[in-house]
Amino acid sequence: MKVYQYILALLILFNISVFGQNADDALRLSSTNLSGTARYVSMGGAFGALGGDMSSISDNPASAGVFMYSEFNFSNTIQYKTNTTDFYDYSWSKTKGNLNFSNLGFIISTPIHSDTKWKNFNYAFTYNRRNNYHNKIYSSATNNYNSVSDYFAEISNGMSINDINNDRGSLAYNAYNTYVTELVPGSNNLYQSAFKNYGQKQIHEILTKGANYDLAFSIGANYDDKLYLGASINSNIERFDYKSSFSEIGNNNPNDSIKSFNYTDSYSTEGNSIAAKLGFIYKPFSWIRFGGAIHTPILYELQDDFSSQISSVIYNGSYEYAETGNQTSEYEVIVPFKAMGALAFIINKSLICSFEYQYTDMSKTRIEANGLQSAFDDVNTAISDLFKETHNLKAGLEYRLGNLSLRTGVSYFDSPFKDNHGDDNKTLIYNAGLGLNYNSFYLDLAGSYGMQKYQRYPYQLAQKRIEPYRIKERLSKFVITFGFRF
């Protein structure tokens, strides 16, 4: 990648003003997580060739054809996410917990009582919390090299005072009218930070919440207990809330124009999508199964509501405040198709070994407005330059001891970044659980632990090197599922 393209991509992706419609949105909507029933989670989600689980229908709709009885189940999840943020010589850890209703499934199995090899047709409605966005990132450090006010100055450069004041509510207007930026002496369109010497304390907190929900209506069929076919219509519901609070406190330099300031920006995204999935499971012998599925591209129609505020404390004791009023925009995100293949072995009806592979090309994600990609040319260029094809792997084991089942699994989610950027974004999740099965009732428990390392830039400057936050994210999850057959 050319250097200027790489810098442009970073500016677009990691800009502190992360209002919607950027590459960060594309990453969030294209990514998947390990979520669903306790049995599904404990075996690492490797159900593409097994079926018979409500959450597996989201991966391979042919899973609906494997059910032999009508069934209803629901799951609850407790999640804890801990982020350790290293910035300069400082390190901070914050944990955010969340209790949520993560899965609901209902399937009606209809046996075929006729002289045919078709055994049954099944109809399923499933709800899965596909992604959980509850998270907290915190950093507090002394920065001796730059300020976020330098970023405000850069975006103001080239504008006269009249230009800025005529752009009321913009970031340049808010920064200048709270005295966070000021004219460079002798210039009428170049700006500088209000801090004359660096060494100010920076406090940055990012809070996110919300989820992505997958609602699906699926049809599955069983042919001769060997071939299972399925199709589904899916709608994803996106709810995402973001709030960033960035404060800087000066070091009592008498030449500074202000004592401190706070910059807050927030936005919420809401929308829905439509997509379809097709899949099969083939069982040539009782001890082996193959599975595969295709997910069509997902078309999201989204709306963002965002606002920002800057407040400052001046050395004369006065308080200044300026804000951007609530603004709304509508746009579409197209998430590329996904393909998956799976293999499973069933040994002596007591041991299950299953494997699954998923492929998607995240660089093909596109953002549009009114059907026109040209409205987001820079963002789509950043997506193409930053992201790559991803190869996700899952593996699971289950051992049955009468009514008791012991399970374990591992899930590997590939880094979406190319050019060796963000290699640590690879995620490995370890899972374990157990289940109790009593004919018409079952109870499953699961726990999982995963860790991911990545970098996030607090802001970007064209002329200065910015130190990134180095973040280690640890995720712990506990799932309980209740199920009933009838």
- The CA angle 285-407-357, to the nearest 5 degrees, is 60
Asked if residues 479 and 75 have their Cβ atoms less than 8 Å apart, the reply is: yes
Q: What is the SS3 string spanning the chain?
A: CCHHHHHHHHHHHHCCCCCCCCHHHHHHHHCCCCCCCHHHHHCCCCCCCCCCCCCHHHHCHHHHHHCCCCEEEEEEEEEEEEEEEEECCEEEEEEEEEEEEEEEEEEEEEECCCCCCEEEEEEEEEEEEEEECCEEEEEEEEECCCCHHHHHHHHHCCCCHHHHHHCCCCHHHHHHHCCCEEECCCCCCCEEECCCCCCEEEEEEEEEEEEEEEEEEEEEEEECCCEEEEEEEEEEEEEEEEEEEEEEECCCCCCCCEEEEEEEEEEEEEEEEEEEEEEEEEEEECCEEEEEEEECCEEEEEEEEEEEEEEEEECCCCEEEEEEEEEEEEEEEEECCEEEEEEEEEECCCEEEEEEEEEEEHHHCEEEECCEHHHHHHHHHHHHHHECEEEEEEEEEEEEECCEEEEEEEEEECCCECCCCCHHHCEEEEEEEEEEEECCEEEEEEEEEEEEEEEECCCCCCCCCCCCEEEEEEEEEEEEEEEEEC
pLDDT at residue 18 in the model: 41
Query: Partners of 41 in the beta sheet?
Result: none
Could you report the per-residue pLDDT of 263-292, keeping only the tens digit for each? 999 999 999 999 999 999 999 999 999 999
Residue 405 CB partners (closer than 8 Å, separation 6+): 39, 398, 399, 434, 435, 436, 437
* Whether residue 345 has pLDDT greater than 60: yes
d(CA 444, CA 426): 28
Per-residue confidence at 77, pLDDT binned at 50, 70, 90?
very high
Helix axis angle for 23-30 and 3-14, nearest 10°, is 70
Query: Does the pTM exceed 0.85?
Result: yes
Per-residue confidence at 364, pLDDT binned at 50, 70, 90?
very high
Q: What is the mean pLDDT of residues 359-371?
A: 89
Residue 468 CB partners (closer than 8 Å, separation 6+): 455, 456, 457, 458
pLDDT at residue 421 in the model: 53
d(CA 195, CA 263): 15
Could you report the per-residue pLDDT of 8-62, keeping only the tens digit for each? 344 444 444 444 556 777 788 888 789 999 999 999 999 999 999 999 999 999 9
Average pLDDT taken over every residue of the chain: 91
Helix axis angle for 377-386 and 3-14, nearest 10°, is 110
Distance of CA 102 to the CA centre of its chain: 16
Residue 185 CB partners (closer than 8 Å, separation 6+): none
pLDDT at residue 113 in the model: 82
* Whether residue 464 has pLDDT greater than 90: no
* Whether residue 471 has pLDDT greater than 60: yes
CATH architecture of 3-131+215-240+270-306+338-485: Beta Barrel (2.40)
Query: Partners of 311 in the beta sheet?
Result: 262, 321
Q: Report residue 347 as tokens.
A: 């040994």
d(CA 332, CA 373): 9
* Whether residue 368 has pLDDT greater than 80: yes
Helix axis angle for 23-30 and 377-386, nearest 10°, is 50
Query: Partners of 227 in the beta sheet?
Result: 223, 282
446: exposed, middle or buried (Cβ count in 10 Å: 0-12, 13-18, 19+): buried
Q: What is the mean pLDDT of residues 438-445?
A: 95
Per-residue confidence at 6, pLDDT binned at 50, 70, 90?
very low
Query: Partners of 266 in the beta sheet?
Result: 243, 307
Q: Identify which has the larger pLDDT, 114 or 92.
A: 92
Tell me which residue of 398, 403, 415 sits closest to 442, measured CA to CA.
Answer: 403
Domain ranges of the chain: 3-131+215-240+270-306+338-485
Asked if residues 5 and 16 have their Cβ atoms less than 8 Å apart, the reply is: no
d(CA 403, CA 470): 46
Tell me which residue of 60, 140, 65, 134 sits closest to 99, measured CA to CA.
Answer: 134
Could you report the per-residue pLDDT of 377-431, keeping only the tens digit for each? 888 888 898 899 999 999 999 999 999 999 999 999 998 888 655 446 789 999 9
**144-148, 258-262, 297-301, 371-375: which has the minimum mean pLDDT?**
371-375
What's the length of the chain? 486
d(CA 199, CA 252): 10
Could you report the per-residue pLDDT of 154-203, keeping only the tens digit for each? 999 999 999 999 999 899 999 999 999 999 999 999 999 999 889 999 99
Per-residue confidence at 4, pLDDT binned at 50, 70, 90?
very low
Q: What is the mean pLDDT of residues 432-441?
A: 95
